[in-house]
Structure 1
Amino acid sequence: MTLTDASVAHLMPELREVMREAASIALPYFRPGGQTSARVWNKSGGSPVTEADVAVDTFLKIRLSELVPKAAWLSEETADDPARIGRDLVWIVDPIDGTRAFLSGHHDWSIAVALLAGGEPLIGFVHAPALGVAYEAIRGQGAFKDGTAMAVDAKPALRSARITGPKPMLDRLTKGAGPDPDFTRIERIPSLALRLARVAEGSVDVGMVSPNARDWDLAAADLVLREAGGEVCSLGGEPAVYNRAEPVHGELVALPRGLREAVLTAWGG
């Protein structure tokens, strides 16, 4: 199945409605500033999952499969099907990105959905229900926050940048940036998708991502960031690669393209 520009644009109103419905499933379980009302248990690796994650995942698998029946599926809360490897179209889904934030009443969690075509994100949608904010992008057609076009902050230099992420990575970046880089450290954003989206909207300049992030944490926001004038890359400058047999990533950084050389030099130093 080949998706034309026209057919992709036709999908977006339906996808927006699907994301709104997914949010309406998750929100009743969310308690701002308090513990979720949802049942919580630990997966085999020790990370938490709630009944809200499972309910949203089930809903999205049904509805997104109806939208693009030929697309394979990769989600945090669904058993992996190796049949996705090599498929042209793949939905990549995190029903609740930032589950620990969700279950503890922190507003920075999101629902992240990407559609890959030929191994690259074609559609990216990051919805933050507790904040009432939605980010979306179609490849080659720009990035939008609640329907308004957005772009990364066009800072000319790394000095005084607003940075966020794991402290060891921020310490390394700060050390490599030379004397008195005057960074502003922003409290770590629990949802990786929102961390990247905030670079895309220009409220953060550099977002660091520790090893072991998964495709579902990154793919949707990666496209939003690309379309806003930024990128996600490794220490060596390589872009994130999606839909591999093991959908796991190493250290990454999200940044505006204009800061790419300065950040990679400082981070590697």
Structure 2
Amino acid sequence: MPATDLALLVEAAEKAGDIACKYNGPDAKRWDKPDGAGPVTEADLEVDAFLKAFLTSARPDYGWLSEETEDTSDRLSDRNVFIIDPIDGTRSFAEGSRTWAHSLAIATDGVVTAAAVFLPQREMMFTAAQGAGAQLNQSAVYVSRETELTSATVLTARPALDAKHWKSGQPPAFRREYRPSLAYRLATVAQGQFDAMLTLRPSWEWDIAAGDLLIREAGGHCSDRTGQPLRFNNATPQLNGVLASNLTLHQNLLAHLNPDGPGLAPL
């Protein structure tokens, strides 16, 4: 990873924020993607076009994977790949909420090495580079030290509490909170604001890649729903759910999960 990769992502994220914030979310033109894949707005598309032009001109030998760009197999032969969600939390953006984010990552040989998650309307820039720790607005952040599930606050959607996902037929007695952006959920766990994040749905790589590195560099552990390490730039760019927290809490949650529980529809 070139030493300047993180600086490039930060610059791109800041410029993306300038573009997105030109729009008033509720007034932005909006479409529904085919096959129930969720909404997209004109802001998503403008940010995506900018990021692709800006980032690939700076790193022409890096592959490209983005939620709003038609995927091709070309990236599979690239050692380094940009993994981008131009606006993570499009529904929130379109509703006028401030909890949407730009999620930018670079994966090298399937492992994320640089990441930026930027919430421009909250002035929060989360960053991480492999081996250099995780930061919020240039100050170091660390995952929570909470180890007891009964005292933990877990960011997860309500369907994850369904009995079929848990060995005992019910989830442990943790407190549940929710945030609409997966990238933001992971970032808030990396900063220790919440103790864990759990999604049992098949999850798109662009929602998770940047947050995976934030968690790991903040001293935490990030895996799929079965405990396997996350690998990126897959032919089908989806992961088998995500579990993120400090290592002890991760192990405690994993011990309660039913590894054979049915997945849910993709986000």
Fold shared by both chains (TM-score > 0.5): yes
- Structure 1 residues 114, 89: CA separation in 2 closer, same or farther (over 3 Å shift)? same
Q: Contact (CA 8 Å) 2:83, 2:105: kept in 1 or not?
A: yes
Q: For residues 223-268 of structure 1, what are the alpha-carbon distances to aligned partners after superposition, in whole Å with 9 as ceiling and x for unaligned? A: 1111011222223210222111101122322221121221111223
* Range that drifts further, 164-173 or 19-28: 164-173
Q: Contact (CA 8 Å) 2:161, 2:170: kept in 1 or not?
A: no
Q: Are 2:59 and 1:68 equivalent residues in the alignment?
A: yes
Q: Distance in 1 between matches of 2:131 and 2:16?
A: 26
1:224: which partner in 2? 214
Deviation at 1:170, TM superposition (A): 3.3
Deviation at 1:174, TM superposition (A): 10
Residue 250 of structure 2 aligns to a residue in which SS?
Answer: helix
1:26: which partner in 2? 20
2:146: which partner in 1? 155
Q: Distance in 1 between matches of 2:194 and 2:239?
A: 22
- Structure 1 residues 178, 262: CA separation in 2 closer, same or farther (over 3 Å shift)? farther
Q: Contact (CA 8 Å) 2:88, 2:183: kept in 1 or not?
A: yes
- Structure 1 residues 191, 43: CA separation in 2 closer, same or farther (over 3 Å shift)? same
Deviation at 1:163, TM superposition (A): 1.2
1:249: which partner in 2? 239
Q: Are 2:97 and 1:103 equivalent residues in the alignment?
A: no
Q: Contact (CA 8 Å) 1:160, 1:181: kept in 2 or not?
A: no
Q: For residues 12-68 of structure 1, what are the alpha-carbon distances to aligned partners after superposition, in whole Å with 9 as ceiling and x for unaligned? A: 33432221111000012135xxx2x21101111231100000000000001111221
Structure 1 length normalisation: TM-score? 0.89
Residue 127 of structure 1 aligns to a residue in which SS?
Answer: strand
1:42-53 aligned at under 5 Å gives the runs 42-46=32-36, 47-53=38-44
**Root-mean-square deviation (CA), in Å?**
2.2
Residue 61 of structure 2 aligns to a residue in which SS?
Answer: coil
Q: Distance in 1 between matches of 2:162 and 2:53?
A: 43
* Range that drifts further, 231-240 or 221-230: 231-240
- Structure 1 residues 14, 237: CA separation in 2 closer, same or farther (over 3 Å shift)? closer
1:204: which partner in 2? 194
Where in structure 1 are there 5+ consecutive unaligned residues?
none
1:190: which partner in 2? 180
Structure 2 length normalisation: TM-score? 0.89
Q: Are 2:127 and 1:136 equivalent residues in the alignment?
A: yes
Q: Distance in 2 between matches of 1:182 and 1:160?
A: 8
Residue 179 of structure 2 aligns to a residue in which SS?
Answer: coil
| Identity within the alignment, % | 36
Q: Are 2:28 and 1:38 equivalent residues in the alignment?
A: yes
Q: Distance in 2 between matches of 1:225 and 1:123?
A: 12
Where in structure 2 are there 5+ consecutive unaligned residues?
260-267
Q: Distance in 1 between matches of 2:171 and 2:34?
A: 44
2:6: which partner in 1? 12
One of 110, 115, 124 as aligned partner of 2:106: 115
2:254: which partner in 1? 264
Q: Distance in 1 between matches of 2:104 and 2:204?
A: 13
Question: Alignment length, in residue pairs?
Answer: 258
> Which amino acid in 1 is paired with 2:153?
R
Deviation at 1:146, TM superposition (A): 0.6
Q: Contact (CA 8 Å) 1:172, 1:267: kept in 2 or not?
A: no
Q: Distance in 1 between matches of 2:168 and 2:146?
A: 15
Residue 223 of structure 1 aligns to a residue in which SS?
Answer: helix
Q: Contact (CA 8 Å) 1:11, 1:67: kept in 2 or not?
A: no
2:82: which partner in 1? 91
One of 223, 231, 249 as aligned partner of 1:233: 223
